[in-house]
């Protein structure tokens, strides 16, 4: 059963300007160390930061709370499996929210161009124990 869907579009130049202005203060507040390392390895790091920022915003929209419900952006980490497929690793308030809401699967899609980055997150909740199924 779908719990929530979130989508976001980011202007990569805007993220680049924020990084130039605030530097590590911004990066450490929003991204994990692994994300900073990953993005920093790329010539156009702002494209990758933009994509990850879009993921974090999409996740917040999918859970329906936005910031302030005990979820911090750095608790939402984009990771890639060995084949390159993106996924999320959650910690702190983000992980607690997902567990409490009985969300058992997170679907993630990311894309970017030179100018924009976009992401979509779909959260699946466990079906009720009474045996009902989602026959959509």
**Per-residue pLDDT tens for 10-42?**
999 999 999 999 999 999 999 999 999 999 999
SS (H, E, C) 86-101: EEEEECHHHHHHHHHC
Instruction: Please check whether residue 136 lies inside any domain of the structure.
Output: no
Predicted local confidence at residue 130, as pLDDT: 46
Question: Is 31 within a domain?
Answer: yes
Q: Are 7 and 131 in contact (CB under 8 A)?
A: no
pLDDT at 131: 52
**Known catalytic membership, residue 135:** no
Question: Whole-angstrom Cα distance, residue 107 to residue 59?
Answer: 10
| Number of domains forming the structure of the chain | 1
Is residue 116, in this structure, part of any structural domain at all?
Answer: yes
Active-site residue identified among 17, 105, 112, 135 = 112
Residue 132 belongs to some domain of the structure:
no
Which tens digit of pLDDT belongs to each residue from 35-86? 999 999 999 999 999 999 999 999 999 999 776 678 999 999 999 999 999 9
What domain range includes position 53? 2-125
- Catalytic entry in 61, 72, 104, 107: 61
User: Tens digit of pLDDT for each residue in 79-116?
Assistant: 999 999 999 999 999 999 999 999 999 999 999 999 99
| pLDDT above 70: residue 132 | no
Catalytic residue check, 104: no
Q: Say which CATH number the domain at 66 has.
A: 3.90.470.20
Asked whether residue 131 is assigned to any structural domain, the reply reads no
């Amino acid at each position: 059963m779908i719990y929530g869907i979130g989508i976001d579009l980011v202007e990569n130049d805007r993220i680049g300007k924020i990084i130039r202005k605030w530097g590590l203060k911004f990066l450490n507040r929003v991204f994990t160390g692994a994300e900073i390392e990953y993005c920093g390895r790329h010539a156009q790091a702002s494209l990758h930061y933009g994509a990850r920022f879009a993921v974090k915003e999409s996740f917040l929209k999918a859970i329906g709370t936005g910031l302030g419900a005990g979820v911090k952006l750095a608790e939402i980490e984009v990771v890639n499996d060995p084949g390159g497929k993106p996924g999320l690793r959650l910690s702190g308030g983000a992980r607690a929210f997902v567990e409490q809401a009985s969300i058992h699967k997170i679907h993630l899609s990311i894309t970017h161009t030179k100018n924009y980055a976009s992401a979509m997150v779909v959260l699946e909740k466990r079906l009720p124990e009474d045996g009902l199924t989602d026959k959509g």
